[in-house]
Amino acid sequence: MTAVDLRRRFAARAAIIDLDGTLLDTAADLAAAVNAMLLAMGRAALPVEQVASYVGKGVEVLVHRALTLSLDGRVPADSFAPAMRSFDAHYRRENGRHASVYPGVLEGLQAMRDAGLKLAVVTNKPLGFAVPLLADTGLAQYFDLVVGGDTVARKKPDPMPMLHVCAQLGIAPEQVVAIGDSLNDALAARAAGMAVLAVPYGYNEGRDARSLDVDAIVDTLFEASRLIDPL
């Protein structure tokens, strides 16, 4: 699907929204931490755009990708452990420093709250980074629940974190709309039995959001809010 069909409606009691690449542009923060890690290891820095293409499956995978310059690359454990410690230290400094809220996010979140929807963030970012990032950017107030990449045993694209939200909020999956920017979001939502909307911006590991198995492409979160009929 390549355009919004405003005749298509989604009845829901809640919305689950991705963080990096959907709510916030965090590429500059992530790139700053990755490059500080690489420079400390005597490696060349990477362009922000390249680092952004590695985002999507959590910070551990991001570090592996940055070290191997490959989406599927993995480094040995004895090389990974010190690199991960370095990234973690640098990202604690950089987290939120350059992050910006995407256009339409505030309007969309407010519209969903005004409609009575419960809202949750599900991200593969560790909770210790996600919670302060939402607070620092003024978005925390909109959400009833935040689920990080370390909240449950498995991350997106596994449906476990999506189903965890349903259990915590007491809402059936078929009464939830998921909104994200990547294949991870689409697969997790589909496996959980939720409707899924995708934004065409953000971080999608090189895969155009318009190629995903989703119910609609929405230009902004506010446009997404216009498609949801609260139950």
Question: What residues are annotated to the active site?
Answer: 18
Measure the CA–CA gap between 79 and 188, rounded to whole angstroms: 31
For 80, list phi and psi in degrees, rounded to 5: -70, -45
Measure the CA–CA gap between 19 and 141, rounded to whole angstroms: 14
Structure tokens at 46: 């990477």
Residue 130's closest CA among 114, 117, 143?
A: 143
Amino acid in the structure at residue 227: L
Q: Is 191 exposed, middle or buried (0-12, 13-18, 19+ CB in 10 A)?
A: middle
Whether the Cβ atoms of residue 94 and residue 48 lie closer than 8 Å to each other: no
